Amino acid sequence: MKNRLVYMDNGATTPVREEVLEAMLPFLQDQYGNPSSLHTQGREVRRAIDEAREKTACVLGADPAEIFFTSGGTESNNLALRGTARKQASAGHIITSGIEHHAVLEVCHDLENEGHRVTYLPVDRFGRIDPAAVEAAIAPDTFLISIMAANNEVGTLQPILEIGTLAREHGILFHTDAVQVVGQRPVNVNDLPIDYLSLSAHKFNGPKGVGALYKRKGVKITPLYRGGSQERKLRPGTENVPGIIGLGQALELAAAEIPYKMEYLTSLRDQLIEGLLKIEDVILNGHPQERLPGNINVSFKYIEGESILLSLDLQGIAASSGSACSSGSLEPSHVLSAIGLDQQTAHGSIRFSLGRYNNEADIEYVLEKITPIVEKLRQISPLHKTD
């Protein structure tokens, strides 16, 4: 019997906003034309997609022709990295970090197999990449730097302005995986020397399975696959129309509330962090200030993450251990290892990620429930010395 439901896994995915669903519905009902069709039904839908593209571009400070809709953050990352690598006349060098999402890291591994060299930069104990390390890593044949705007597990914001500036100074393309940041903090490609940026709708109260790649005009990439002429041939296939409409609507709404939401979530976040740190042997992972407004990542020593998650779940609290994608796996998260946590501490880490529907009562509820959970699991644990 659950008392209530407190969803604190917004870093994994977010609920679709009602207004977003409303915007999508016509495209699951009457407006069913194929946007490539010449007839009225097709042209209406084409117009709606164009509008979604304009909204997306507007929020990012981009030109609509620089927005390419994809099936999500994973595809956007793959498209940017592989697409750029395939445009190179010969194998070259890529710089990324050791804490990127798998959708960047594993592509880099592939590219290594294809003959490119990749530098995986380390991070400090807060999860920050040092721009000086980026500069030091630049080789004469470095053609791409890919550094995420914020880490999905520990929430650390990266100095992408500095890194992008370095990239530009050296004539190197700069990609940022901004999946965790778009819709949460302002991102404007006019202020930032970014050549491409990945985003995913389901992280900002849009639908799952749709994302976008911003690609600065003039930057050339090879598509991942071929077919029709949709998305200017960069991403062929009949468009996920309701998804794209949902993305545009969700992004516009999210962008409008950023200033308010940042403040609101930051305050909730810090309350939760403060409360959690009152429990003995709890450490905060990630940077104390330079972190996503809604991200809280802590390690509970002596106990194991899944059992904490399960206990929370039994109280109606949804959180995650590590990233959603890797929580099915048994290995400690590569991010937590990279910030220097030993395996056991990494295994005891939990991410609470807040979203627009969380409130103070949620924070109180979590704090009320987590204390006895930790106590009980520690009682069971042979690692915890009670004396």
Ligand X SMILES: Cc1ncc(COP(=O)(O)O)c(C=O)c1O
Residues tagged active-site: 325
Do 175 and 146 touch, CB atoms closer than 8 A? yes
**Residue 246 exposed, middle or buried by CB count within 10 Å (0-12, 13-18, 19+):** buried
Task: Indicate the residue among 225 and 260 with the shorter CB distance to its own copies.
Answer: 225
Q: What angle do CA 42, 45, 47 make, to 5 degrees?
A: 110
Binding part of the chain for another protein, among 100-108, 207-215, 229-237, 329-337 by CB under 8 A, reads 329-337
For every residue of 32-82, which 3-state class applies, written as one string? Answer: CCCCCCCCHHHHHHHHHHHHHHHHHHHHHCCCHHHEEEECCHHHHHHHHHH
Sign of the dihedral through C-alpha 86, 88, 92, 93:
negative
Question: Looking only at residues 26 through 85 of this chain, which bind another protein when binding is defined by CB under 8 A?
Answer: 38, 43
Residue selected from 166, 282, 303, 341 as contacting another protein according to rule CB under 8 A: 303
Task: Indicate the residue among 7 and 196 with the shorter CB distance to its own copies.
Answer: 7
Task: Indicate the residue among 135 and 306 with the shorter CB distance to another protein.
Answer: 306
Binding part of the chain for another protein, among 119-127, 180-188, 248-256, 375-383 by CB under 8 A, reads 375-383
Residue selected from 76, 307, 323, 349 as contacting another protein according to rule CB under 8 A: 307
Tell me which of ligand X, another protein, its own copies, none is bound by residue 148, counting a contact when its beta carbon lies within the kind-specific cut-off of 5 to 8 angstroms: ligand X
Nearby residues of 157 by Cβ (< 8 Å), 6 or more positions away: 149, 150, 181, 185, 287, 290, 291, 292
* 326 part of the interface to another protein, by CB under 8 A: no
Tell me which of its own copies, another protein, ligand X, none is bound by residue 68, counting a contact when its beta carbon lies within the kind-specific cut-off of 5 to 8 angstroms: none
Say which residue the tokens 């194991």 belong to. Answer: 304
Residue 137: in which H helix or E strand, if any?
helix 131-137
Task: Indicate the residue among 115 and 237 with the shorter CB distance to ligand X.
Answer: 237
Question: Side-chain half-sphere of 46: how many Cα atoms within 13 Å?
Answer: 12
Give the footprint of ligand X on this chain (CB under 6 A).
72-74, 77, 101, 103, 148, 152, 177, 179-180, 200, 202, 211, 237-238, 324-325
* 207 part of the interface to its own copies, by CB under 8 A: yes
Binding part of the chain for its own copies, among 25-33, 55-63, 152-160, 363-371 by CB under 8 A, reads 25-33
Do 171 and 43 touch, CB atoms closer than 8 A? no
Residue 89 backbone dihedrals phi, psi, to 5 degrees:
-65, -35
Tell me which of its own copies, ligand X, another protein, none is bound by residue 240, counting a contact when its beta carbon lies within the kind-specific cut-off of 5 to 8 angstroms: its own copies
* 164 part of the interface to its own copies, by CB under 8 A: no
Tokens of 46: 């084409």
Residues that bind another protein (CB under 8 A): 38, 43, 302-307, 310-311, 314, 328, 330-332, 343-344, 347, 379-383
